[in-house]
Amino acid sequence: MTKTTRILMGATALCGMAAIAQAETLTIATVNNGDMIRMQELSSDFTEKHPDIELDWVTLEENVLRQRVTTDIATKGGQYDVMTIGTYEVPIWAKQNWLVPLDDLPEEYDAGDILPAIAGGLSVDGTLYAAPFYGESSMVMYRTDLMEEAGLEMPDAPTWDFIKEAAAAMTDKENEVYGICLRGKAGWGENMALLTAMSNSYGARWFDENWQPQFDSEAWKATLTDYLDLLNNYGPPGAANNGFNENLALFQQGKCGMWIDATVAASFVTGDDSTVADKVGFALAPDNGLGKRGNWLWAWSLGIPAGTDAEDAAKTFVAWATSKEYAELVAEKEGWANVPPGTRTSLYENQEYLDAAPFAQMTLDSINAADPNNPTVDPVPYTGVQFVAIPEFQGIATAVGQQFSAALAGQKSAEEALQAAQELTSQEMQAAGYGQ
Amino acid sequence: MARAVSTRRKIGFTIAAWAVGLAIFFPILWTILTSFKTEAEAISSPPSFLFFDWTLENYTTVQERSNYFRHFWNSVVISLGSTVLGLIIAIPAAWSMAFVPGKRTKDVLMWMLSTKMLPPVGVLIPIYLIFRDVGLLDTKTGLVIVLTLINLPIIVWMLYTYFKEIPGEILEAARMDGATLRDEIIHVLTPMAVPGIASTLLLNVILAWNEAFWTLNLTAAKAAPLTAFIASYSSPEGLFYAKLSAASTMAIAPILILGWFSQKQLVRGLTFGAVK
Amino acid sequence: MATQHSRSAARIMISPAVVLLLAWMIVPLALTIYFSLLRYNLLMPGTERFVGLLNYKLFFNNPAFFTALINTLLLVGGVLIITVVGGILLAILLDQPIWGQGIVRILVIAPFFVMPTVSALVWKNMFMNPVSGLFAEFSKAVGLAPFDFLSQAPLASIIGIVSWQWLPFATLILLTAIQSLDSEQMEAAEMDGASALSRFWYITLPHLSRAITVVILIQTIFLLSVFAEILVTTNGGPGNASTNLTYLVYARSLLNFDVGGGSAGGVVAIILANIVAIFLMRMIGKNLDA
């Protein structure tokens, strides 16, 4: 045995030992929504296939998670190897080179299968920066029995005028049935998601081409006035503190006639916990005949922070969690209706899925009806349907959302709220150096 | 004067006290009850108080979903560790303030307390950057350090007020007998100070256990205590009251039990020198 | 009679605590002051630049600032009044001869052991919710319209929740103080025909004054930075109706990720907290020296 071979053998042995000793650990930050919890439960399938990778989960409530991962990635804290982020974060983070591009996913992953609207929202200059785990738009969910009692019929693509008429007809406050439930809780992802999407269908926009705020426009005034009228006259008490969850609880208890919210709610309102599961119908989000509907587009996605020490393992995991095989795994264990929706074309061509999920077609149509690159009637300098993809948006929209929820609580008139929104947005945008 | 308390009066006070006590405790009781309901029952109207199908489903779900014992253990280590470390630093400081008071002692004490007024949200980013650079993010050591510093002023103050009530003559007598400073602390002072130290320890374990800002923001997976465990059950999507109640019950039960068993100890030292 | 020797020993013993706290205060404070002079958004690295006092100007010009300041004072003041008055009454009640005193005391102190996040979630969802909360169920049962606590009276509701958490603490300290009251003095007064009210006013209350100042001091420290309760229940709204300074700073630095603006707010909050502190220290110092 020559000296060289001995050294080589020794080195190989060392490498081998190192590989065994360092079973890689991935720290995965995720939201505590139902689909992610399921992923966590099913992850033993992944660890069986990849015994050299260990998974550590950090499951947090959405707002806490967002704050945690943003702080960590912006300060390069390096605590996470996989992060669950949305369509708002991806383009902003990708531009800062904070995310590992996902342009080398394996052939069998079939990235071309991802719904174009979703892929568009997660790509910058044609490169995918996060893999969609599930996608959602918003739509109208309504009670078929109450609609019938009211002597009305919900069209597949209703107008806001019809929604007003139906809300009035369905409301029966004596019996705690409220014609319409909408988000009222302040927050850029709460009431402002709904209002921004709604305003698109009224022909309003956040900014003109020169980044001047547009809350002083007639279109915004019409949006807010209609929103307030709907909720004040036909909405549940306490609407100003209702977010997704509160409205879901109301709908499940049979207290809402209509509810315009995320498409993922469809599986909850028709699920086991719902008292009205067999009386729910679906329709596209309303419009005003201006060419844009009031529905949004969102995808919870898995991104890999640049600088992670386990990039390859992280990619392997991301590819597993967003693959077609994962969908089949869920279908096998929990049934097709529970497969994460809204990410892949192939899922909507799968007859088994279409049969199991009555809301599938409406979800797909809603997602396809949203166009983040061209969200409004008039041209705008930004992308994003229910958000504006600039870093300042979260803060500004949350402050604006507070003004609007104050209007809903009756502390301000619509005009006062819009004026305050206009002022604070101008101030923030100026401070941030836009439109100069 | 031995005054016999009239029974009627005692009944009246008993009823009033129990009514108030139960009213104050009710939210906790309700949380515990809700943790045994199904999600649908948890929001049902009218609510059912005791007559529902009792289920342990929520507890099994919670246990399956998150590693309760890891969080629990982290909470134990962090709250005990920070309290013990805090006591080690604070006992000498409080001792010297109580027995060798200088002109500035009171100012120093008040200044220490004022450091607690630093709003944590305002200094999160600087601390995060420092922790990143010294590799303390998501470590129990890091949290022990932060919580020690946060609670140190309270510890020093509680001990100071306690030590001050120990009569100085005893120390003088010991000194006359030729005791050194060290002997003084170990053999004379410490035994007398044990009740005060014990209740300081208890109060600080409680405060550290419930601290929810730093523990949530400086940890990820490895060092996350029960506060982070709770944060994963308040979901913006889907019903969660029953599961949240179960998780809450599991998170507060250890400290509640500790507090109840040691309430006599706790009360004795909770005076902050308020009792003369 | 402290010797030179014991003085220097004392200095050595006190120094670890002082040095550590000094470092804990100065390092973040210095960094915070430094950041507050920058335009520094976490989401836009590389764009940091010195802007002087601009962040402070923006913070003060924000109409929410004044509201938040008032709300902070209302919150601290409101909770202090409720817990001190409630604590005194409760302490007197618990001091009476009753059956099961130990158990009642356990029930009363229990809220102190509950994490703020948990108590806020429980109050918001299971009690104050205007549709399915217990209060709403109760009003419906007696034929009233449910009151929408968190929209109609957000700040008052939060004061209520926070008071529930701190009432046990106040009660415990005050109870200990009452129990140390000389009963002979009380009985003598009773023999002299003093009414219950005047006995309370002239004997009990003065005796409790030290305990009351302690309660006020300790609680103020914690109440100035109330945050989790607001985040969970109202997010500071509707409008800014329940935003306090801590929450305002949070919104700037961790919702907007505007570290510059958030730091400026943090510095302002620290200064205001210290003004309150000085005021308190004067009061306490006088009362505790006696």
Whether A85 contacts A100, CB under 8 Å: no
Q: Which residue has the higher pLDDT, A408 or B243?
A: A408
Question: Is C44 in contact with A391 (Cβ distance < 8 A)?
Answer: yes
Establish whether the linkage from the previous residue to C238 is cis, with ω within 30° of 0: yes
Fold: same for A23-135+298-356 and A138-296+373-432: yes
Bridge partners, A134 (sequence order): A300
Question: Is C42 in contact with B241 (Cβ distance < 8 A)?
Answer: no
- Taking the Cβ of residue C43 and every Cβ of chain A, the question of whether any pair is shorter than 8 Å is answered with yes
Mean predicted lDDT score pLDDT of chain B: 83
Q: Chains contacting C with at least 3 CB pairs below 8 Å?
A: A, B
- Taking the Cβ of residue A238 and every Cβ of chain C, the question of whether any pair is shorter than 8 Å is answered with yes
CA distance C249 to C264: 9
- Taking the Cβ of residue C83 and every Cβ of chain B, the question of whether any pair is shorter than 8 Å is answered with no
- Taking the Cβ of residue A34 and every Cβ of chain B, the question of whether any pair is shorter than 8 Å is answered with yes
Taking contacts as CB-CB distances below 8 angstroms, the residues of chain A near B239 are 245, 248-249, 252, 273
Task: Give the C-alpha distances (Å, rounded to integers) separating A100 from A56, A391, B223.
Answer: 20, 19, 26
Give mean pLDDT, residues B58-74. Answer: 87
What integer pLDDT is reported at residue C199 of this predicted model? 85
**What is the per-residue pLDDT across C24-81, written as a single tens digit (0 to 9) for each?**
888 888 988 999 998 888 888 777 888 888 889 888 888 889 999 999 999 999 999 9
| C152 Cβ contact list (under 8 Å, min separation 6) | A409
Question: Is B231 in contact with A64 (Cβ distance < 8 A)?
Answer: yes
* A352 min Cα distance to partner chain B (Å): 25
Query: What residues does each domain of chain C span?
Result: 53-289
Q: Which of these, A367, A388, A364, A366, lies nearest to A376 by C-alpha position?
A: A388
- Taking the Cβ of residue C130 and every Cβ of chain A, the question of whether any pair is shorter than 8 Å is answered with yes
What integer pLDDT is reported at residue A243 of this predicted model? 85
Mean predicted lDDT score pLDDT of chain C: 85
Taking contacts as CB-CB distances below 8 angstroms, the residues of chain B near C213 are 274
Q: Which residue has the higher pLDDT, B107 or A239?
A: A239
What integer pLDDT is reported at residue A19 of this predicted model? 44
Task: Give the C-alpha distances (Å, rounded to integers) separating B82 from B123, B146, B211.
Answer: 20, 8, 12
| C42 Cβ contact list (under 8 Å, min separation 6) | A70, A71, A74, A75, B125, C257, C258, C259
Whether A280 contacts A141, CB under 8 Å: yes
Q: Which of A10-24, A343-357, B104-118 has the highest mean pLDDT?
A: A343-357
Whether B121 contacts C253, CB under 8 Å: yes
Nearest to C273 among B5, B117, B226 (CB): B117
| B98 Cβ contact list (under 8 Å, min separation 6) | B159, B160, B163, B164, B166
Give mean pLDDT, residues B95-111. Answer: 80
Quickly list H helices, C224-258.
228-233, 245-250
Establish whether the linkage from the previous residue to B46 is cis, with ω within 30° of 0: yes
Q: Which of these, A61, A257, A237, lies nearest to A142 by C-alpha position?
A: A257
Query: What residues does each domain of chain B span?
Result: 7-59, 67-232
| A401 Cβ contact list (under 8 Å, min separation 6) | A186, A187, A188, A190, A191, A192, A195
Question: Is B65 in contact with A41 (Cβ distance < 8 A)?
Answer: yes
Taking contacts as CB-CB distances below 8 angstroms, the residues of chain B near A62 are 236-237
Question: Is B92 in contact with C16 (Cβ distance < 8 A)?
Answer: yes
**What is the per-residue pLDDT across C217-249, written as a single tens digit (0 to 9) for each?**
889 888 988 888 898 888 887 888 889 988 888
Q: Kindly write down the DSSP assignment for every residue of A351-416, as one continuous string.
A: HHHHHH-TTHHHHHHHHHH--TTS-SSS--S---SSS--STTHHHHHHHHHHHHHHHHTTSS-HHH
Question: Is C113 in contact with B259 (Cβ distance < 8 A)?
Answer: yes
Q: Which of these, A100, A95, A96, lies nearest to A83 by C-alpha position?
A: A100
- Taking the Cβ of residue A74 and every Cβ of chain B, the question of whether any pair is shorter than 8 Å is answered with no
CA distance B258 to B72: 14
Question: Is C113 in contact with B252 (Cβ distance < 8 A)?
Answer: yes
Across the A:B interface, residue pairs with CB atoms under 8 Å apart total 94
Q: For A97, which DSSP code?
A: T
Give mean pLDDT, residues B134-140. Answer: 91
- Token pair 């005990």 is found at B80
CA distance B92 to A277: 66
DSSP reduced 3-state for A154: coil
DSSP reduced 3-state for A131: strand
Count other Cβ atoms within 10 Å, centred on residue C251: 27
Whether A380 contacts A170, CB under 8 Å: no
Tokens of residue B74, six digits: 């982290």
* pLDDT band, very low/low/confident/very high, at B270 (cuts 50, 70, 90): low
What integer pLDDT is reported at residue A275 of this predicted model? 87
| B228 Cβ contact list (under 8 Å, min separation 6) | A58, A60, B71, B215, B216, B219
Question: Is C217 in contact with B113 (Cβ distance < 8 A)?
Answer: yes
Taking contacts as CB-CB distances below 8 angstroms, the residues of chain A near C242 are none
Question: Is C132 in contact with A74 (Cβ distance < 8 A)?
Answer: no
Residues, chain C: 290
* C50 min Cα distance to partner chain B (Å): 17
Question: Is C122 in contact with B31 (Cβ distance < 8 A)?
Answer: yes
- Taking the Cβ of residue C235 and every Cβ of chain B, the question of whether any pair is shorter than 8 Å is answered with no
| A416 Cβ contact list (under 8 Å, min separation 6) | A407
DSSP reduced 3-state for A83: strand
- Taking the Cβ of residue C231 and every Cβ of chain B, the question of whether any pair is shorter than 8 Å is answered with no
| A260 Cβ contact list (under 8 Å, min separation 6) | A138, A139, A140, A141, A163, A180, A182, A194, A285, A286, A294
Q: Nearest residue on chain C to A189, judged by CA atoms?
A: C255
Tokens of residue A256, six digits: 């809402």
| C57 Cβ contact list (under 8 Å, min separation 6) | none
- Taking the Cβ of residue B1 and every Cβ of chain A, the question of whether any pair is shorter than 8 Å is answered with no
- A152, containing H or E segment: none
* pLDDT band, very low/low/confident/very high, at C3 (cuts 50, 70, 90): low
* C32 min Cα distance to partner chain B (Å): 6
Q: Chains contacting B with at least 3 CB pairs below 8 Å?
A: A, C
Which CATH number applies to B67-232? 1.10.3720.10
CA C104 to chain centre: 25
On the question of pLDDT at C2 being above 60, the answer is no
Task: Give the C-alpha distances (Å, rounded to integers) separating A149 from A90, A143, A145, A258.
Answer: 45, 10, 6, 14
Q: Which of A22-36, A223-237, B185-199 has the highest mean pLDDT?
A: A223-237
- Rg of chain C over CA atoms, in angstroms? 24
DSSP reduced 3-state for C236: coil
Bridge partners, A174 (sequence order): none
Query: Cα A87–A112–A297 angle (5° rounding)?
Result: 25
What integer pLDDT is reported at residue B4 of this predicted model? 56
Count other Cβ atoms within 10 Å, centred on residue A433: 11
* C12 min Cα distance to partner chain B (Å): 8
> Pairing relation of β-strands A131-143 and A280-284?
antiparallel
Q: Which of these, C263, C104, C87, C80, lies nearest to C159 by C-alpha position?
A: C80
Domain at A23-135+298-356: CATH architecture: 3-Layer(aba) Sandwich (3.40)
Nearest to C235 among A185, A255, A395 (CB): A185
For chain A, the straight-line distance linking the first and the last C-alpha, in angstroms and rounded, comes to: 75
Nearest to C93 among B17, B93, B110 (CB): B17
CA distance A171 to A177: 6
What integer pLDDT is reported at residue A306 of this predicted model? 92
- Give the domain A138-296+373-432 fold: D-Maltodextrin-Binding Protein; domain 2 (3.40.190)
Mean predicted lDDT score pLDDT of chain A: 89
Question: Is A411 in contact with C241 (Cβ distance < 8 A)?
Answer: yes
What integer pLDDT is reported at residue C129 of this predicted model? 81
Strands (E), B122-187: none
Q: For B184, which DSSP code?
A: I
Q: Nearest residue on chain C to B258, judged by CA atoms?
A: C113
Q: Which residue has the higher pLDDT, A120 or C180?
A: A120
On the question of pLDDT at A238 being above 80, the answer is yes
Taking contacts as CB-CB distances below 8 angstroms, the residues of chain A near C235 are 185-187, 398, 402
| A300 backbone φψ class: left, alpha, beta (φ>0; ψ -120 to 50) | beta
Q: How many Å is the maximal CA-CA distance in chain A?
A: 94
Q: Which amino acid is at A180?
A: I
The model scores a pTM over 0.90: no
CA distance B68 to B226: 8
Count other Cβ atoms within 10 Å, centred on residue C181: 15
On the question of pLDDT at C9 being above 90, the answer is no
What integer pLDDT is reported at residue A178 of this predicted model? 95
On the question of pLDDT at C1 being above 50, the answer is no
Query: What residues does each domain of chain A span?
Result: 23-135+298-356, 138-296+373-432
- Taking the Cβ of residue C234 and every Cβ of chain A, the question of whether any pair is shorter than 8 Å is answered with yes
Whether C227 contacts C72, CB under 8 Å: no
What integer pLDDT is reported at residue B106 of this predicted model? 78
* A235 min Cα distance to partner chain C (Å): 12
On the question of pLDDT at A395 being above 80, the answer is yes
Quickly list H helices, B100-212.
105-115, 120-134, 140-164, 168-176, 181-183, 190-210
**What is the per-residue pLDDT across A37-86, written as a single tens digit (0 to 9) for each?**
889 989 999 999 999 999 999 888 887 888 889 988 988 888 999 999 99
Task: Give the C-alpha distances (Å, rounded to integers) separating A327 from A213, A271, A304, A320, A363.
Answer: 42, 19, 21, 10, 17
- Taking the Cβ of residue C150 and every Cβ of chain A, the question of whether any pair is shorter than 8 Å is answered with yes
Whether A284 contacts A139, CB under 8 Å: yes
- Taking the Cβ of residue C281 and every Cβ of chain B, the question of whether any pair is shorter than 8 Å is answered with yes
Taking contacts as CB-CB distances below 8 angstroms, the residues of chain A near B137 are 77-79
Taking contacts as CB-CB distances below 8 angstroms, the residues of chain C near A409 are 151-152, 237-239, 241
What integer pLDDT is reported at residue A196 of this predicted model? 96
Bridge partners, A180 (sequence order): A258
Q: ipTM > 0.90? A: no
CA distance C87 to A193: 44
Question: Is B117 in contact with C221 (Cβ distance < 8 A)?
Answer: yes
Bridge partners, A138 (sequence order): A262
CA distance C98 to B13: 6
What integer pLDDT is reported at residue B122 of this predicted model? 76
Count other Cβ atoms within 10 Å, centred on residue A396: 24
Q: Which amino acid is at A224?
A: L
Kindly state the percentage of chain B with pLDDT values over 70: 92
- Taking the Cβ of residue B120 and every Cβ of chain A, the question of whether any pair is shorter than 8 Å is answered with no
Give mean pLDDT, residues A153-159. Answer: 93
Whether A402 contacts A411, CB under 8 Å: no
On the question of pLDDT at A133 being above 90, the answer is yes
What integer pLDDT is reported at residue B36 of this predicted model? 92
Whether A370 contacts A297, CB under 8 Å: yes
Question: Is C176 in contact with B21 (Cβ distance < 8 A)?
Answer: no
* A101 min Cα distance to partner chain B (Å): 24
Q: Nearest residue on chain C to A416, judged by CA atoms?
A: C239
**What is the per-residue pLDDT across B184-227, written as a single tens digit (0 to 9) for each?**
777 777 777 788 888 889 889 988 998 888 888 888 888 889 88
Q: In A, residues 103-162, which contact C (CB 8 Å cutoff)?
A: none
Q: Which residue has the higher pLDDT, B87 or B4?
A: B87
* pLDDT band, very low/low/confident/very high, at C286 (cuts 50, 70, 90): low
Q: Which amino acid is at A232?
A: N
Taking contacts as CB-CB distances below 8 angstroms, the residues of chain A near B120 are none
On the question of pLDDT at B128 being above 90, the answer is no
Whether A91 contacts A387, CB under 8 Å: no
**What is the per-residue pLDDT across A206-222, written as a single tens digit (0 to 9) for each?**
999 999 999 999 999 99
CA distance B24 to A266: 40
CA distance B205 to B223: 17
Q: Which residue has the higher pLDDT, A160 or C288?
A: A160
**What is the per-residue pLDDT across C83-114, written as a single tens digit (0 to 9) for each?**
999 999 999 998 888 888 888 988 998 898 88
Across the A:C interface, residue pairs with CB atoms under 8 Å apart total 109
* pLDDT band, very low/low/confident/very high, at A415 (cuts 50, 70, 90): very high
What integer pLDDT is reported at residue B198 of this predicted model? 86
- C199, containing H or E segment: helix C196-199
Nearest to C123 among B27, B113, B119 (CB): B27
On the question of pLDDT at A163 being above 70, the answer is yes
What integer pLDDT is reported at residue C290 of this predicted model? 38
Q: Nearest residue on chain C to A69, judged by CA atoms?
A: C254
Superfamily of domain C53-289: MetI-like (1.10.3720.10)
Taking contacts as CB-CB distances below 8 angstroms, the residues of chain A near B65 are 37, 40-41, 59
What integer pLDDT is reported at residue A195 of this predicted model? 96
Residues, chain B: 276
